[in-house]
Chain A
Amino acid sequence: GIQVEQSPPDLILQEGANSTLRCNFSDSVNNLQWFHQNPWGQLINLFYIPSGTKQNGRLSATTVATERYSLLYISSSQTTDSGVYFCAVEGPPTGANSKLTFGKGITLSVRP
C-alpha cells in the first residue's frame, strides 16, 4: 500500500516563530488532508489539498503531486498550535471505498 512519511517527528518552537512540516508519499494520490489532533484527541481538518496551494489565516499548505510531497506552513506560531499534525492520503482507487492512510504525525510544542 501507499507509504506516508512525515518530518520532522518532533518540533519545538518559541511562540511567534514560523515552521514547515513535510509529508512525503510513495504513490499518486486522489486526496490529501492535513489534520491537527488536539490534546483531547479530536482531529481537526486543516486542509483538503490533493494539489496546489491553500491558505487559512496563519496556516497554509502546498501539495506538489508530481513530486509526491506536501508542506504545511505555520506562521507566527501560538501555544494553541501545539499538538500532533497528521498528513493522510488516499491512494488510487482500489474499489468502492477509498481509504485514508495516515503518517506517523509530527508533534509540535510551542513554548510561550
Chain B
Amino acid sequence: GAVVSQHPSRVICKSGTSVKIECRSLDFQATTMFWYRQFPKQSLMLMATSNEGSKATYEQGVEKDKFLINHASLTLSTLTVTSAHPEDSSFYICSASPGESHQYFGPGTRLTVL
C-alpha cells in the first residue's frame, strides 16, 4: 500500500514553455502533499506544501507565480512550472501524507529545459 505516482517521469521542453507535473496517491487519501526539487548530487529541498482545497505554502525563495501548485482533490496535486528556463531543469519529487507523520514519495519527474 501507500503508492504515489508521478506523471510524466521525464519531460524535455523548450525555454519559455510551461510544464505540468501530476502527483497522485493511488491507494490512500492525502490530506497534505509536498513538492521537492533535487539538483544533481544534492539533497532534496522542499519547495511547497499543499493541502486539498487551500492555497499552497511556499518555502522561502520559491516563486509562487513561477511554480503553481493545485491540490484539487485528496488524491491529486499538480505542479506547473511556468515559462520554464534552463535553470529550472531539475528532478522534481512529490510526496503525500495521509495525515500521520509518514510521507510517501513518488518516483520523481526529470525536467530538462532546452
Contacts and interface: CB of A to CB of B under 8 A. Distances in A.
Interface size class of A (residues with CB under 8 A): 20 to 34
A41 B108 contact: yes
Interface residues of B, number: 22
A86 B43 contact: yes
Contacts of A35: 105
Nearest to A43: B105
Interface string A59-97: 000000000000000000000000000101010000011
B46 A96 contact: no
Given A31-B101, A41-B93, A48-B101, A96 B108 contact: no
B32 A97 contact: yes
B101 A40 contact: no
Contact of A104 (B42, B93, B95, B108): B42
B107 A40 contact: yes
B107 A105 contact: no
B34 interface: yes
Nearest to A40: B107
A107 to B, nearest CB: 8
A11 to B, nearest CB: 15
A100 B42 contact: no
A90 B46 CA distance: 12
B104 interface: yes
Contact of A86 (B44, B49, B107): B44
A96 B49 CA distance: 10
Contact of A97 (B38, B45, B49): B49
- Choose among A45, A90, A99 the residue with the greatest number of B CB atoms under 10 Å from its CB: A99
B57 interface: yes
Interface of B: 32, 34, 38, 42-46, 49, 51, 57, 91, 93, 95, 101-105, 107-108, 110
12 contacts: A40-B107, A41-B91, A41-B107, A43-B105, A50-B101, A86-B43, A98-B101, A99-B46, A100-B95, A100-B103, A104-B42, A105-B43
Interface of A: 30-31, 33, 35, 40-43, 45, 48, 50, 86, 88, 90, 96-105
